[in-house]
Amino acid sequence: MKINLEFKKVDTLIRLAIQEDIFTGDITSNILIPDNLVVKGSFVAKENGIIAGLPVVEYFFSKLNKGILLKQKVKEGAFVKKGETIAEVRGSAKTVLTGERIALNFLQRLSGIASLTKKFVDRIKPLKTSIMDTRKTVPGWRYLEKYAVAVGGGVNHRMGLYDQALVKDNHLDIMRSKLLYDVPANVSVIERAVSILKQETKKGILIEVEARNMDEVKDALKSCVDVILFDNMNIKQLKKAVKLVKGWKAVCKARLPLTEASGNITLENVRLVAQTGVDRISVGAITHSVKAMDISLEINLSKNV
């Protein structure tokens, strides 16, 4: 499946990377390497994994020198084995050496995210539950990190606070304090929150509610919310919550809400969570705790480049 990458959304990040690493120039390469020397380098996998970020690397090199050519040896999203050549880069030796670390930073981190995501996705096959990312990303990297999740077979959650409403425990606790809203005795704070959001948000904006116990799940169901997030529930609680949702006699004109599990999801327990019947599992670890994939750039020193 082809995943579109909008380069205008990564332009600022690439310019920042160039500014912080290269700035006024690569002192070592500028002094030691001849201007007219052309080399070929190979990006080589030092471990097994899923490759993500090749278009970013190509776009980055084009910003340094339009004469740099990148030839992909594998497709974006492909699984590679240790020792396999991922791509070849050819052009000015100065440019290749100057851009090496930035290129690897993008390729290693994005491939690490795609690889870990794929492990989670594979762990729950053939169940129909989706693995989703979160907003736990490196500042400035969110678009690319979510792109890498998609390359690894995951599904993107909201991009930010602006494209989906998600009522979390802190929202509810503040509303319960009655500092901002008076909630009638016969209406739960969740129902009140969802009702207000439905009135104030644009059509098409999903509304999701975080539920910590069965009472909150029931309140979310009464509110006709789009998605219910089961927060930090154990397997027994998740089974009960999913059963409650699926058995709910909808009073709304829409379908039953989607169900989502979140909190302390690992490769060891993700299948058990998926087997509860939840529609989605959000995993913060696939972006905030990922290990960069080990990839190196090896320069070909032969005369025939």
Q: Which of 58, 210, 219, 260 is catalytic?
A: 210
Residues 168 and 158: their CA atoms lie apart, in Å, by 14
Which amino acid would we find at residue 233?
A: M
Residues 174 and 182: their CA atoms lie apart, in Å, by 11
Q: Which of 136, 218, 222, 271 is catalytic?
A: 136
Q: Which of 168, 243, 246, 291 is catalytic?
A: 168
Which amino acid would we find at residue 171?
A: H
Residues 115 and 111: their CA atoms lie apart, in Å, by 6
86 contacts 43 by C-beta, under 8 angstroms: yes
110 contacts 286 by C-beta, under 8 angstroms: no
Q: Any catalytic annotation for residue 303?
A: no
Q: Which of 90, 101, 135, 198 is catalytic?
A: 101
Q: Any catalytic annotation for residue 8?
A: no
Q: Any catalytic annotation for residue 66?
A: no
Q: Any catalytic annotation for residue 298?
A: no
Q: Any catalytic annotation for residue 231?
A: yes
Q: Which of 231, 260, 279, 280 is catalytic?
A: 231
In the chain, alpha helices (H) = 11-21, 27-32, 54-64, 93-123, 142-151, 169-176, 189-200, 214-222, 235-246, 270-274, 285-288
Residues carrying an active site annotation? 101, 136, 168, 210, 231
